[in-house]
Amino acid sequence: MEENNENQEPENQDLLQDLSEKGKTAELVEMFEELPTMDVAEFMEERPIEEILQYLKKLDPEDQGRIFSDFSIDLQLKFFHSVDRRTFASVFGQMFSDIRADLYQELTKEEQIELLPYLDKKVREDVIILSAYPPETAGGTMTTDFATIFADMTASEALAKIRKDAPSKDMIYYIYVVDHSMVMKGLVTLKDLVMHDPKDKVLEMLNEFFVYAEVNEDRESVAQKIEKYDLVAIPVLNSLNQLVGIVSHEEAIDIIQKENTEDIEKLMGIMPSANDEEYMATSSFHHFKKRVVWLVSLAAIGIISGMIINEYQGVLEQFIILAMYMPMMAATGGNTGAQAATVVIRALSLGEINDEEWLKIVYKEMKISLMLSLCVALLTYLKIAFLSFHSMLPSGFSMEYVAIIISVAIAVQVVSSAVIGAALPLVVRRLGGDPAVVASPAITTIVDITGLLIYFTIASHTLGIS
Give the pLDDT of the chain (466 residues) as one tens digit per residue: 344 444 455 677 788 888 888 878 888 888 888 888 888 888 888 888 888 888 888 888 888 888 999 998 889 999 999 889 998 999 999 998 888 998 999 999 899 989 998 998 888 888 988 888 888 899 988 988 888 999 999 999 999 998 887 666 656 778 999 998 889 999 999 889 999 999 999 999 999 999 999 999 998 889 889 988 888 899 999 999 999 999 988 888 888 777 766 666 665 555 555 555 566 666 787 767 767 776 787 778 778 888 888 888 888 888 888 888 888 988 899 899 988 988 888 888 777 888 788 889 999 999 999 999 999 999 999 988 887 766 667 777 788 888 899 999 999 999 999 999 999 888 888 887 777 666 667 788 888 899 999 999 998 888 876 5
Question: Across the strands, what pairs with 96?
Answer: none
> Could you give the CA distance from residue 374 to residue 414 in angstroms, rounded to a whole number?
9
Closest CA to 248 of 173, 159, 158, 163: 173
Domain with CATH 1.25.60.10 in the chain: 2-132
- How many whole angstroms separate alpha carbon 18 and alpha carbon 4? 21
Four-way CATH pick for 2-132: 3.20.20.30, 1.10.3720.10, 1.25.60.10, 2.160.10.10: 1.25.60.10
For residue 236, the cross-strand partners are 213, 245
**Interior angle at CA 75, CA 59 and CA 30, nearest 5:** 20
CA 78 to chain centre: 27
How is 372-440 classified by DSSP, letter by letter?
HHHHHHHHHHHHHHHHS-GGGS-TT--HHHHHHHHHHHHHHHHHHHHHHHHHHHHHHHHTTS-GGGS-H
CA angle at residue 350 from 344 to 353, to 5 degrees? 55
Q: Rounded to whole angstroms, how far apart are CA atoms 450 and 302?
A: 11
This prediction has a pTM of 0.60
Q: How far apart are the first and last CA of the chain?
A: 69
- Tell which residue, 285, 289, 262, 256, has the closest CA to residue 274: 262
**CATH 3.10.580.10 segments of the chain:** 148-248
Helix (H, G, I), strand (E, B) or coil at 242: strand
CATH 1.10.357.20 location in the chain? 302-462
DSSP 137: B
Distance of CA 202 to the CA centre of its chain: 39
Q: Could you tell me which CATH number the domain at 302-462 has?
A: 1.10.357.20
- Fold adopted by 148-248: CBS-domain (3.10.580)
